[in-house]
Each structure stands twice: as C-alpha cells, then as structure tokens.
Amino acid sequence: MTTTQPATTPARPADPQPSPLLSVERLGVRFRLRDAVVHAVTDLSLTVRAGELLAVVGESGCGKSVLAHALLGLLPGNAAVTGRALLHQPDTEPVDLVSCGQRHLARQVRGRRIGLVPQSPATALNPVRTGRRLLGETLGAHGRDRAQADRLAVDVGLDPGDLDRYPHELSGGMAQRLVTALALATDPPLLIADEPTTGLDRPLVDHTLDLLRRRCDAGAAVVLITHDLAAARRVADTVAVMYASRVVEHRDGGEFFAAPTHPYAAALLDALPDRAFRPVPGHPPMLTALPTGCAFAPRCPRRTDTCEGRPEPSSAGDGTVACHHPILPGAAP
C-alpha cells in the first residue's frame, strides 16, 4: 500500500524556521476540588512560531480551553499550574507566562501580546455596552483610532450597523463575530481563538477561518482551538491533538491529514463526513481518575499489554506522537 520513502522532505526546505514566539514546556494544570483533583492539562509541550497557525483539536473536555486560560492567567483560584510557557519578544528576555504574575499579564500580555477570542461570547461581553462602545474602549485603551470599529466589524463579517446593538440584541453568531473583532482590535502578535466559529453558518465559518489564515500569512501567529477537524484541515500549518489532558500527536498539518500516526488521531479523522463518518467508539476517561498508562488504550484497536505503561512523546516524521503502537507509514499495520 505505502511505498518506503526516503527521509521525509520538510514542507518548506528553503525557509529557515523562525524562532518560536511561544514555547510551552511541560505545562500542567490541576483543579483541586473538595474530594478530587481534575488533571486538565498534563505535561504539555508545544511551540508556536510567527506566521504559524497551530490548530489544537480534540474531543470536548480534553483540556483545550484550560490550556488557553493557563497561558493568559485566566484560571480560577483552585487551579495549580506547573511548567513554563515562554513568550519570546523582540529585544527583551522571554517572559514566563506561568510565573510572571497577574500584574505583568494584565499590563503587558493580555490583549497586547496575546489576544483571546473566548469560547463563550455571551459571558465575555459587558451587557450594558454596545458593540461600538466595547470596540471603541478596546481600541482607545491600546492607543488606536476608535474609527477602526467599522472596519473591524466588516473584517469579521458583521454589519457595522449591528455595532450599535447591546449584547442581548445580538444572535449567538453575531456575538461570536463581535468578540473576534474585539480580539483583533489590538492586533496582537499571537491570537488564541477558542472555537471562534461557533454559531456561524458555513460561509461565515470559512470567512472567519480565512481571516485567521491571512493574519498568519501577514506574520502573526494563531492558535486555533477547535473540535472541527475540517476547519483545521482548511487553514492549519500544524496540528496538536489533545486527548485526556495531553498532547498525543503534534505535527505538520499536511502530513497529519494525509497520515495520522496516533490511533486516536486516526479515529478522529475517520469520524469526518468525507471519510468513514464513523464516530470514535467509547468515551474519554474522567480527568479525576486518569490511568497511569495510555489513556486512550481502552478505546484503541492497537492496544497491547505494553499500553499499561505511559507512552512518552517521541519523534514521528517532523513531529511527535505519544503512543506505543503508532501507525507508521510503510510499516505493517
């Protein structure tokens, strides 16, 4: 079926890779509850470079939004964060987002260096301010011209006239576009977009995805959090698949969609309507009771006794996979 290939050719061999904008190293997030601990992010390492669109995909509850909130210091008080997340900046030392403190995050990072399109627009919008006022305040706070509000509305596919509405007068899709416009208003070098296409119809989904793609083509970086693999396939340079709080596969998007190596990633792709359209069987484990070995093993057709031991991320092509039995091109299944 697959012929043996010589050494993999990098996607853009002539381009020297720019140095990372963000490097996340062994990030962990735990929530302490009265009688349990939720392991929401475990031992997670990732990099994002300028010009890169990284899609973070995975089933509901696997830790995608918690990852975003950890990077921005937006977690509640019962969260304990470990590891490092270095934000590299021109001409100065990198800042560790985990340890730099709320004051620095509020003054220097949120909005300015990292923008967030939050997953729940309804709770993110101030109910007593119109979209125009919200956008104007954000633009003004960052020394930008408030008159850019109309252009931002058009960019996200919102009628500028709708900026004069209050949040409760907006549909879910309109509120979604407004929070996207708010995140774009400060033109951050890194944008984390958490399910930015929720509630949008297909043309607006594609419009939003293409908007994010163009940001990256102009040199910014975007982390697109989505459970929509078709969206990731349309625009991502790189893909990170999360399962039960860990990244289980991370690699070039083209390679990933052509030949996923983690059995969970392969199962997710098989669930796409234009592929087998077969949902991933079974359910993910509780994050309060994660197994010591591979968390996907109970659902995995390739599992063996070895999977009772934890699979550490190892290199596969130009990326990494955390699996004892990865699907390697050219190897027998």
Ligand X SMILES: Nc1ncnc2c1ncn2[C@@H]1O[C@H](COP(=O)(O)OP(=O)(O)OP(=O)(O)O)[C@@H](O)[C@H]1O
Judged by CB under 6 A, the stretch of 63-71, 80-88, 152-160, 214-222 that binds ligand X is 63-71
Nearest to 184 by CA among 219, 160, 149: 149
Based on CB atoms, which residue is closest to Ni ion, 64 or 251? 64
Q: Shortest approach of ligand X to residue 264 CB, angstroms?
A: 14
Q: Shortest approach of ligand X to residue 108 CB, angstroms?
A: 25
- Please choose which of ligand X, Ni ion, none residue 115 contacts, taking the beta carbon within 5 to 8 angstroms, the exact cut-off set by kind: none
Judged by CB under 5 A, the stretch of 117-125, 215-223, 257-265, 325-333 that binds Ni ion is 117-125
In DSSP terms, 53 is beta-bridged to 222
DSSP code string of 67-96: HHHHHHT---TTEEEEEEEEEEETTEEEEE
Binding of residue 46 to ligand X (CB under 6 A): no
- Please choose which of Ni ion, ligand X, none residue 38 contacts, taking the beta carbon within 5 to 8 angstroms, the exact cut-off set by kind: ligand X
What is the footprint of ligand X within residues 70-89 (CB under 6 A)?
76, 78
Binding of residue 109 to ligand X (CB under 6 A): no
Q: Shortest approach of ligand X to residue 39 CB, angstroms?
A: 8
- The CA-based angle 28-87-252, given to 5 degrees, is 75
Q: Shortest approach of Ni ion to residue 227 CB, angstroms?
A: 8
Judged by CB under 5 A, the stretch of 74-82, 112-120, 164-172, 264-272 that binds Ni ion is 112-120
Instruction: Among 42, 45, 65, 261, indicate the residue that binds Ni ion (CB under 5 A).
Output: 65
Long-range Cβ pairs for the range 287-295 (8 Å, 24+): 287/38, 287/39, 287/40, 287/61, 287/63, 287/244, 287/245, 288/33, 288/36, 288/37, 288/38, 288/39, 290/39, 290/42, 290/244, 290/245, 294/322, 294/323, 294/324, 295/243, 295/244, 295/245, 295/246
- Name the one residue in this structure whose structure tokens are 């930015």: 196
Tell me the backbone φ, ψ of residue 242, rounded to 5 degrees.
-100, 140
Q: Shortest approach of Ni ion to residue 65 CB, angstroms?
A: 3
DSSP state of 326: -
Binding of residue 243 to ligand X (CB under 6 A): no
Binding of residue 130 to ligand X (CB under 6 A): no
- Please choose which of Ni ion, ligand X, none residue 333 contacts, taking the beta carbon within 5 to 8 angstroms, the exact cut-off set by kind: none
Give the whole-angstrom CA distance, residue 38 versus residue 168. Answer: 34
Judged by CB under 5 A, the stretch of 46-54, 56-64, 238-246, 278-286 that binds Ni ion is 56-64
Q: Shortest approach of ligand X to residue 35 CB, angstroms?
A: 12
Contacts of 239 (CB under 8 A, 6+ apart): 54, 55, 56, 57, 232, 249, 250, 251, 252, 253, 256, 257
Nearest to 196 by CA among 156, 165, 238: 156
**How far apart, in Å, do the first and last CA atoms of the chain sit?**
11
Binding of residue 55 to ligand X (CB under 6 A): no
Based on CB atoms, which residue is closest to ligand X, 79 or 100? 79
Based on CB atoms, which residue is closest to ligand X, 62 or 266? 62
Residues that bind Ni ion (CB under 5 A): 64-65, 119
Contacts to ligand X by CB under 6 A:
31, 38, 40, 58, 60-66, 76, 78, 119, 227, 287
